[in-house]
Structure 1
Amino acid sequence: MADQSIIRITKELSDIQRSSDLSLAVACRDIDVRNVRALIIGPHDAPYEFGFFEFSFKFGKDYPGKSPNVTAVTTNAGRCRFNPNIYASGKVCLSILGTWRGERGEEWSAAQGLESILLSIQSLMSGNPYENEPGFEEANEPADKKNQRDYVQKIRHETLRISVIQRLEDYLGLTPDGQKVVQQTAADQDEADDELVDVDESSLPFEPFKDLCKRRFLWYYDSYLHAIQKAKTEVKDHEPFVRMPFEGSSNSMEGRFNYTDLERRLHNIKAALDAELEQWARAGLEAKANESTVAVNLQHQYEQVVQWFKRQDIPHDLQLEDGNPFVWALTYFGRPMTNLDGGLFKIRLHFSPQFPEEQPRVRFETKIFHHRIALDGTVCYFPNPLRKEDLQSHMEAVFASIEEDDPAYDPRTIVNLEAHNLFWGGPDGKKNYNRRLRRSVQKSLEDY
């Protein structure tokens, strides 16, 4: 008989991976389903906003009868306490985990699971995390108000520095000074791969959220810069963090503000991500010459998408840039009965040699004022999670994202701050948004 705990964990992983919740992600190695990694993207309007917070889950054979062990991974190597209930050591204090005292009915039950734990942790990442500290209600009012402000300020800084900037620099092989860490040559990598043939998979690096964080960084880049500009009006560079009453010497958030440096490092990360697209294109031409599996797949899917456009009678001009199946150049014709009607927009779709593990990056090259399109043209869209390797699904999702007139409100899709605020800013704001969008559509014709 199959292990019931394994069946339960596998189902919970699948449910989260299939869900439309843009703030949660989970992954595990195929060989070890009891050890799960989870990512929580910090909520909007909180000092944790759009940060990447990773957690480790270890499930015992008695799960779901007993809760898993949960450890915070994003702690700056054990030096940063991100919340009164999330310690620098990685301990997560929650009553449902048995790591904190709670009221009757707040303890663990088999009805709970991976998602409920993640949502409980996410609820700690509030706009005022200071209130999570026991005794908050009895705190001295004047001093308490100042502590709350000071605590929010330093969490916002460290969210950007540790959870976003350090993480992306590690992924991209960048030093804080923006220098590229020396990478292995292709020959070195081939030799290393040969040596790893008999190595246990569990000994290899496991970075399940690398591509997701890169793509989300591009979504939220302008929000990060906006947060920095706002924070610069509140604190001065090199001003020390204020220690909170509940922080101890080995369980605290220590440091100094330096938003000028964070801004510089954000720019370096953005430049490195842009440079990756050029690297993909060059590697793609080599892969095409070598008739690699990915190159053949992308060429075949390109031909299928062209036929799909014709069958659906969708006006289009889709070409492979320089014959490279890793770079698609699309002229998008705004569809009738939408706010994009009559527009002509140039779009580039860039594909990695590691597709589909690395997902496409889609950018409008024609300027457009749209709440789902960032200032650099990056499109915020959601392909079917079960069809991420199917590029028709990506095209459908891109079109749906930019053509939808009445989407559900979701602050996790904020990629263009001004357009988002107008779109959701009431009737007058929406009218102004539509005028701005239509002007950009008309200009697309003039500039084409």
Structure 2
Amino acid sequence: MADQSIIRITKEIGELQKSSDLSIAVAFRDRDVRNVKALIIGPHETPYEFGFFEFSVKFNKEYPRKSPTVTGTTTNSGRCRFNPNIYASGKVCLSILGTWRGERGEEWSAAQGLESILLSIQSLMSSNPYENEPGFEDANQTHDKENQKNYIAKIRHETLRISIIQRLEEYLGITANGTVTPASESEYFDLDMDDENDMGGSAVPWEPFKDLCKRRFLWYYDSYLDTIKKAKEEVKDSQPFTRMPFEGASNSMDGKFNYTELEQRIRRIKAALDAEPEKWATEGISPRTKDTTVAVNLARQCEQIKESYKHSDVPHNVELVDNNPFVWNVTYFGRPMTNLDGGMFRIRLNFSPRFPEEQPRVKFLTSMFHHRIAADGTPCYFPNASRREDVKQHIDAIIEALEEEQPPYDPRTLVHPEAHKLYWGNPDERKMYNRQLRRSVQRSMEEDF
């Protein structure tokens, strides 16, 4: 039974890790498959939008006959209740988990699994989470509407402050006064140092979503600023949160609005993330790094990709910058008979000495107005999760994102708010989008290469 349970858990995790769902991620340590970390990225057009919410999932030996135990860990150390059904203690109230009384047929069954649990939790993160409170239908609607508005407002603020800003500040070592604490050399060069057994109990905390959250922050940076701009029009700094009727002394979301401070912190995080690739480049030419397996592998891949382009119909070019295997330039030529025809765009790929554990940071050095490229040049693309070490598939995925003619609508790819709005707008707005894209293509030939 135990072996079958582990096989089932491992299979479910593998399927999730291979899926194209951009809002759910899972990870576990090989030696402990029953203890899983999960990340849910808050849905678009909700107060949780693009927040990073982490959960601990513990599978018992009776799984799948019995449901696992799920605990929310994004709670500001037990001080923040993010939802009527997600308590400050981390308790998640769901009928399929047996933590909430549901209708007949809503209880746990062996046909369900980790994905259905995470999707159920994600569904709680709605545009009006106040509705999740039991008895909502019988509440005084006039007074209730004001409570709903106030509840949404403070969730939006705390999503930014706790799930995004605090998380990224911890990842980057940004202190309360805004300074950045440099990482130690052991973090740079000893890739096993996060293992408790290898460190005699003084391990760096296991953060499997660290790199993912950093890259997604860059995707959604402009959306975060837009959220702050709009929220500043609705609430004032130092205005206290309104306590909801269902909130208790130790199970609430208390605090004050301060979007001015949040904006400053968001911008500091962006600056720190922008500085990381430069640090990687310096590390890449240091004596301790230049002859490592990662450096040799990247240099070899660059030569192979360069050679492959010589024998293909695609004239794209790849080269190392200053002979540094951790810094690549890719020159992309727009495909004929498309809106990109005639364009020539230079793309910078920065690699970490810990690649592929840390995925490359990609930026368009030549500006392009495109719904899948952020204003700062960061592209939104989906590399193959099972081939993270293959640089060619990263480049191919970037090109595919640029050239896809009929992409399905996906709000999780909202990285350039203005271009996204025009691209998915009415026919006149789409024409305006195409004109701006063509202008950027024409300008690309004028920029100095």
Q: After TM superposition, is the score higher than 0.5?
A: yes
CA contact (8 A) 2:55 2:70 kept: yes
Match in the other structure for 2:86? 86
Give me the whole-angstrom Cα distance separating, in 1, the residues matched to 2:187 and 2:281: 20
TM-score, length basis structure 2: 0.96
| Inter-CA distance 170–149: structure 2 relative to 1 (3 Å threshold) | same
The aligned counterpart of 2:259 is 259
Contact 2:95 2:106 in 1 (8 A): yes
Distance 1:204 1:443, change over 3 A: closer
Amino acid in structure 1 at the alignment position of 2:307: Q
Match of 1:150 in 2: 150
Counterpart of 1:44 in structure 2 is 44
Q: Given that residues 95 and 101 in structure 2 are in contact (C-alpha distance below 8 angstroms), is that contact kept between their aligned partners in structure 1?
A: yes
Q: Deviations over 1:152-174 (max 9, x none)?
A: 00000000000000000000000
Partner of 2:11 in structure 1? 11
2:143 alignment partner AA: A
SS at match of 1:295: helix
C-alpha separation in 2, matches of 1:318 and 1:242:
55
Residue 376 of structure 2 corresponds to which residue in structure 1? 376
Deviates more, 1:180-189 or 1:385-394: 180-189
> Which residue is equivalent to 1:224?
224
Report the equivalent of 2:295. 295
Aligned pair in 2 of structure 1 residues 380, 154: CA closer, same or farther (>3 Å)?
Answer: same
- Secondary structure at the aligned position of 1:359 is classed as coil
Q: Which residue matches 1:68?
A: 68
1:426 Cα deviation from its structure 2 partner = 2.2
* Residues 288 and 324 in structure 1, CA contact (< 8 A), matched pair in contact too: no
SS at match of 1:308: helix
Say which is worse superposed, 56-65 or 202-211, in terms of deviation: 202-211
Letter in 2 for 1:421: K
- Could you tell me how far 1:46 is from its partner in structure 2? 0.1
| 2-structure distance, mates of 1:390, 1:54 | 28
The amino acid of 2:169's aligned partner reads: E
AA paired with 2:177?
D
Distance 2:413 2:193 in 1: 39
Counterpart secondary structure, 1:38: strand
Taking structure 1 as reference, are residues 214 and 250 closer, same or farther at Cα in structure 2, changes over 3 Å only? same
Which residue identity does 1:225 align to in structure 2? Answer: L
Residue type of the partner of 1:9?
Answer: I
**2:417 corresponding residue in structure 1:** 417
Aligned to 2:177: 177
Question: C-alpha displacement at 1:383, in angstroms?
Answer: 0.8
Aligned-pair CA distance for 1:137 = 0.4
Residue type of the partner of 1:356?
P
- Is 2:26–2:36's contact at 8 Å kept on the other side of the alignment? yes
Match of 2:278 in 1: 278
Within 1, Cα distance between the matches of 2:29 and 2:210? 15
Unpaired segments ≥5 residues, structure 1: none
Is residue 2:139 matched to residue 1:123? Answer: no
The number of residues matched between the two structures is 447
**Paired position in structure 1 for 2:106:** 106
Normalising by structure 1, report the TM-score: 0.96
Q: What percentage of aligned pairs have identical amino acids?
A: 68
Q: Which amino acid in the other structure matches residue 286 of structure 2?
A: E
- More deviation, 214-223/381-390: 381-390
Q: What is the alpha-carbon distance in structure 1 between the residues aligned to residue 268 and residue 200 of structure 2?
A: 35
* Aligned counterparts of 1:194 and 1:150: Cα–Cα separation in 2: 41
- Structure 1 contact 371–416 (Cα < 8 Å) conserved: yes
Shift of 1:248: 0.3
Partners of 2:197 and 2:70 in 1: CA distance = 32
Aligned to 1:207: 207
SS of the residue aligned with 1:4?
Answer: helix
The aligned amino acid for 1:270 is K
2:66 corresponds to 1:35: no
Q: What per-residue deviation string (whole Å, max 9, x for no partner) do you get for residues 99-157 of structure 1?
A: 00000000000000000000000000000000000000011111100000000000000
Cα drift, residue 361 of structure 1: 1.1
3-state SS of paired residue (1:363): strand
Q: Hey, what's the Cα distance between the residues in 2 that align with 1:348 and 1:447?
A: 15
Task: Assess if the C-alpha contact under 8 Å between 1:288 and 1:296 holds in 2.
Answer: no
CA distance in 1, matches of 2:119, 2:174: 32
- Match in the other structure for 1:269: 269
Offset, 1:256: 0.2
Unpaired runs of 5+ residues, structure 2, are: none
Q: Evaluate the alpha carbon distance shift between residue 310 and residue 388 of structure 1 in structure 2; reply closer, same or farther with a 3 A threshold.
A: same
Aligned equivalents of 2:176 and 2:267: distance in 1? 11
